[in-house]
Chain A
């Protein structure tokens, strides 16, 4: 999909939130959008999700993201259906996969295991820990194989170790399937771990794309890899770019 000179304001009485934002997302791109709090990252994500219509500019959606259920959205609230057991949530997600592959108890257990949720099939979300809830929400979003996965600061509410574990789970899941991912975050380490491209959003009052960085390091990337000189240098540049404007 491609956004061309997109601008947005919530109403004619309020100032522009976004101005002249152009970006393209390939079918298996992992794009991270970073920027200061309140700059308009989540607004941009909602435009990509088609929940908001841009005030100016155009969006070309690929036919892949126009089919029903093609877009999955996840934020840090890790909301899933509280009245369904983990097994039922996984079953619902698998049943909506476009490949339509038949699944049984074994596939459900295997999927739970792949997301580190073994032994939780008969548990309700409220019986799971914060990290497990995030993994369940991630499994629900990924197993139905959306064309576009949108993550709005998805791991902001979990501790550092759980977050690193979730990074590995997400990277492993993305290796098994083809989907475009857009991650909104203010955590530069997160975007360096997960993304192929980092887009810096900044500007006041209206934000625009102020920088774009490609990350060509191999995946899966671990927390240790981020200690390498290349990553440290890139992290520094991105952070400078974010705080520049």
Chain B
């Protein structure tokens, strides 16, 4: 394993960098859309029953089943990979953000009304901050789910990334290098999770994570 690393360290680092970039872009896209969708579905009962039901239907489709569809619809490109990863990241964030925005602790809402926050202030200073820990949890779950789709996306028509290299080493029957790639995927998930925890602790020190 060490010899494989020593013979071609650039490829290893490049694969990690590319996979990390793809996962991060997809995660950011999915998480952003998840929060926006939650803002919509938690805003009104009608939005929740219509748009929310549609999202619940889409969520019940196994995300791996979408890989052929996205590859055909958008072509084999970075765009299609980002969409697939974003899709996987979207649902955990949406579900958690929806829960946080629509079930604010009545005690906290009462405090907001006692200091006569206007509706906009109530949303910005009470509802959104209250939902932040939920969103944070959703994104943390998404890190794991997005890696599943990252692997699927890189195995289909990609020429770089950890999962592409994993497939390549499987074809040339190098079990040792396959093991290294699997370990790298685990390491990537761990690094993303640790980095995320540090970012959250820095920007939201009031959240216990």
Contact = CB atoms under 8 A, between A and B. Distances in A.
Interface string A114-154: 00000000001110000000000000100010100000000
Contacts of A71: 114
Interface in B79-115: 105, 107-108, 110-111, 114-115
A79 B111 contact: yes
A77 B116 contact: no
A96 interface: yes
Contact of A96 (B115, B130, B204): B115
B116 A79 contact: no
Contacts of A75: 107
B108 A79 contact: yes
Nearest to B110: A73
Given A79-B105, A81-B108, A83-B132, A73 B114 contact: yes
27 contacts: A68-B116, A69-B114, A72-B114, A73-B110, A73-B114, A75-B107, A77-B107, A79-B107, A79-B108, A79-B111, A81-B108, A81-B111, A81-B126, A82-B206, A83-B129, A83-B130, A83-B204, A92-B115, A93-B115, A96-B115, A96-B116, A124-B205, A124-B206, A126-B206, A126-B208, A140-B111, A146-B114
Contacts of A69: 114-116
Interface in B184-209: 204-206, 208
A83 B206 contact: yes
Interface of B: 105, 107-108, 110-111, 114-116, 125-126, 129-130, 132, 204-206, 208
Given A81-B129, A124-B206, 13 more contacts: A68-B116, A69-B115, A71-B114, A75-B107, A79-B105, A79-B107, A80-B111, A83-B129, A83-B130, A83-B206, A126-B206, A126-B208, A144-B115
Category for how many chain A residues contact B? 20 to 34
In this complex, the member of B111, B116, B205 whose beta carbon has the largest number of chain A beta carbons within 10 angstroms is B111
Nearest to B208: A126
B126 to A, nearest CB: 8
A69 B121 CA distance: 15
Chain A contact residues: helix, strand, loop or mixed: loop
A82 B208 CA distance: 11
Contacts of A93: 115
Q: Which 5 A-B pairs have the closest CB atoms?
A: A68-B116, A79-B107, A83-B129, A124-B206, A69-B116
In this complex, the member of A81, A140, A144 whose beta carbon has the largest number of chain B beta carbons within 10 angstroms is A81
Contacts of B129: 81, 83
B51 to A, nearest CB: 28
A30 B126 CA distance: 31
Contacts of B115: 69, 92-93, 96, 144
Nearest to A93: B115
Contacts of A72: 114
B60 to A, nearest CB: 34
Interface string A70-101: 01110101011111000000001100100000
A79 B132 CA distance: 17
Nearest to A96: B115
Contacts of B107: 75, 77, 79
A163 to B, nearest CB: 21
Contacts of A144: 114-115
B34 to A, nearest CB: 20
A17 B19 CA distance: 63
A137 to B, nearest CB: 9
Contacts of A124: 205-206
Nearest to B125: A81
Contacts of A140: 111
